[in-house]
């Protein structure tokens, strides 16, 4: 299923080399929403990007996040706003729908990736 048939296309999956690493990916979207899921089989790492944007932003964001997770230098596009943030800056709890509390948690993994979760 991940063996490319024509160019880099393999039964709905893209199989390509990015920054010297094999990446198996699938993306798509509709007007106003675009997504990308990219899997690095060597490191068993998956990057998922969900956006409310048109265009190739999810692909570019996934590539940058994977580079950061691999400890590579990655520069943000010049048009991006840079800001400093720490996991401790994430909100503890906030009012959610129908009066239920929601909480956010941001953790840095041992490999340097940031993980965010909502409850």
Sequential DSSP letters for 12-71: TEEEEEETTEEEEEEEEEETTEEEEEEEETTTTEEEEEEES--SSHHHHHHHHHHHHHTT
Is 4 a member of any domain? no
| Stated pTM of the model | 0.57
CA–CA dist 53, 60 (Å, integer): 12
Domain range for 98: 9-73+84-118
Q: What is the pLDDT of residues 65-91, one digit of tens each?
A: 888 888 888 766 666 555 555 555 555
- pLDDT score, position 117: 52
Q: Which is more confidently placed, 20 or 114?
A: 20
How many structural domains is the chain composed of? 1
Nearest-5° angle of CA 19, CA 22, CA 26?
Answer: 105
Is 109 a member of any domain? yes
Contact 36, 55 (CB under 8 A): no
- pLDDT score, position 36: 93
CA–CA dist 9, 24 (Å, integer): 10
Is 2 a member of any domain? no
Q: Which residues contact 56 (CB under 8 A, 6 or more apart)?
A: 34
């Amino acid at each position: 299923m991940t063996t490319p048939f024509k160019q880099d296309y393999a039964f709905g999956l893209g199989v390509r080399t990015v920054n010297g690493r094999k990446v198996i990916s699938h993306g798509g979207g509709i007007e106003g929403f675009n997504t990308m899921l990219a899997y690095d089989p060597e490191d068993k790492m998956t990057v998922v990007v969900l956006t409310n944007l048109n265009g190739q932003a999810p692909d570019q964001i996934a590539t940058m996040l994977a580079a950061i997770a691999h400890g590579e230098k990655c520069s943000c596009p010049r048009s991006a706003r840079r800001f400093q943030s720490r996991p401790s800056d994430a909100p503890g709890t906030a009012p959610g729908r129908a009066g239920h509390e929601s909480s956010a948690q941001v953790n840095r993994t041992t490999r340097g990736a940031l993980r965010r979760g909502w409850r």
